[in-house]
Structure 1
Amino acid sequence: MAKDQFFVVRGSAAPGAPSEHREKPSAAKREKPDRHSSASSSQSGTGRRGWVLSIIVIILFLLSIILLIVVARKLSRLQQQHRDLESSAAELQHMVNCYSSSFYRNVSSVSLQCSLIHNNVSALLSEMEQQQNISTQHMAALRAVLDRTVWELILGYLLQVDRGSSNATVQSDQSCSRCLSSLCPADWQLWHYSCYYLSLESTDWDKASAYCKSTGAHLLIIENQAELQFVKGRIQDNRWIGLTDRKNEGTWLWNDGTAVRTEFWNRGEPNNENEEDCGEIMPAQGKLNDLSCSLQKKYVCEKHLQT
């Protein structure tokens, strides 16, 4: 600015026209430094903007790298956690499988133990029932022996009394028979400490059994061949006796639960031709036969003297 002023002072001191000619180059010279300065300013501003943009790009690049590193680390941690979770899940599944297998083994073992206990209890109850039946049979046999012994003693005593009044053995036997016969009801026959009723009417097996029970007796139970021969000699027709297999088909039992001796059966019997579940005595053969319980037959009742 001092130079411009200087030139202006000098121009104003010169006379007339030459002074105007000199002022033009001054103006041109004044214009040149202005253009140069603006270009320099423009270049410096562009350079600064380039540097700023470069720095921003670099910063953004660095931030992107940092962000990628952080994301990669996060992903790595997530993948590691995922692997850990999968490993834990596999271990838990293995434990669940082990517990399930152990549980089912224990359930099977408990079920087996329960089944064994049930079978043992059933076997024990069955054995107890058998022992009870055996004991009942033994007690019944012992009672029968005792009763028979008592009656034999009574018979012996009556025989001795009768021998004291008469020396005839036959008369003594008849006298004792009369004494014992008085213990049987009317229309009943005495044999070996038992009374026998030979029915005159015919009926089915159930009604015959009911009638015998109503008199304190039961349908005939044949214990031996001597008793079979006694009954056989006093009847002429087939009669109901206390023998049936109703409780268990094919298992023939007397009324007191004892089994029938096989030699009592007639040849080929029992054959169960027409649902034959009741037994009869056949005097012609001196054997037993199975027959339908609904048929009408006469019957034989038996009552022991002790009853």
Structure 2
Amino acid sequence: MVIPRHSRPLDQFHWTHDGAEVKTRGHRLVFGSSLQIHGVTDADRGTWTCCFSSRDALENHVTYDLEITGNGRSCKNLFKILFTVFLIAFIIAVVPLALIYRNHHQLQAKHSQLEHSYNSLQADDNQFGKGRSSLQTNYSQLEHRYNSLRANYSRLEHDYSRQNKSCGQLLVRTRELLNTLIDDGINSTCPWGWSKINKTCYYFSKESSDWHGANHSCVANNSTLATVTTESQQDLLANYDSEKRWIGLTDLDQVGVYVWVNGEQLGKGFWDFGEPNNQGKERCVTKGARYHLHKWNNDVCSARHHWICQTSSFECLARRFGLEALLRQ
């Protein structure tokens, strides 16, 4: 509402607030080109009505009805607004700075950790370099030793080949010499107590034993139980001795399959009539049957009989002169 510029200030006026009359609150009206009310606070918000009268420039008495509605603003409200704006601006400015400071501190700590890790890795790398140098030195030394050993091995291999050739030739000549001595009929080729029959040494035991004990006795004397593979050998043994004796033939590995102690399977056998019989029970063989001493008979292995050990004259002579190497050729 516009009040005339030359109006005078009011001496008396009264207010009503939201329809209720109130006393003067110390508010002051200042007239100019417009009416201004000073002193209105947030607590004074509402509908204010001020009735006053004044004389205009012509001394006319004029009555004005002034209604004030809406939100009044005071300097205090302005201060609050400015303070709030300042606080918001401060927060907007300070929070990013705080975040930047915190991130900077964290980055600085990570930088210190990385620097420490880098120094540790660098120290490890230096240590690794020293170890690598040491390994390279050891490798060079080992390589030198390997080359030296390889050269020595080649030289020894060459010497071994030459000596092996010479040794082979010596063994051949020694074997020929022993065979010549045997052919010339040297009398001392078989051990004492053994009999020489056609270049073979036989031992005819005077004691009795089961088959396994007889076999063990022969092996202990560098021989085996007799292996009779030819008819002439069978005739020689039958004519030389007429007793019933164990020989080196059994079917202990498989019933009905007779094998010699040297691993050879039986070819031709010289069995008595009806032999072998009682398969599975009588599994060891003797020279000399019950009714025909020149034939074979199978018997239980636990029976006690004399036995025949056999070895060659060459083997006996080689062992006599300490030439067992000849037996492995």
- TM-score class, shorter-chain normalisation, is 0.3 to 0.5
The structure where strand makes up a greater share of residues is 2
TM-score by length of 1: 0.42
- Kindly indicate whether structure 1 or structure 2 has the higher relative contact order, using CA contacts under 8 Å at least 6 residues apart: 1
TM-score by length of 2: 0.39
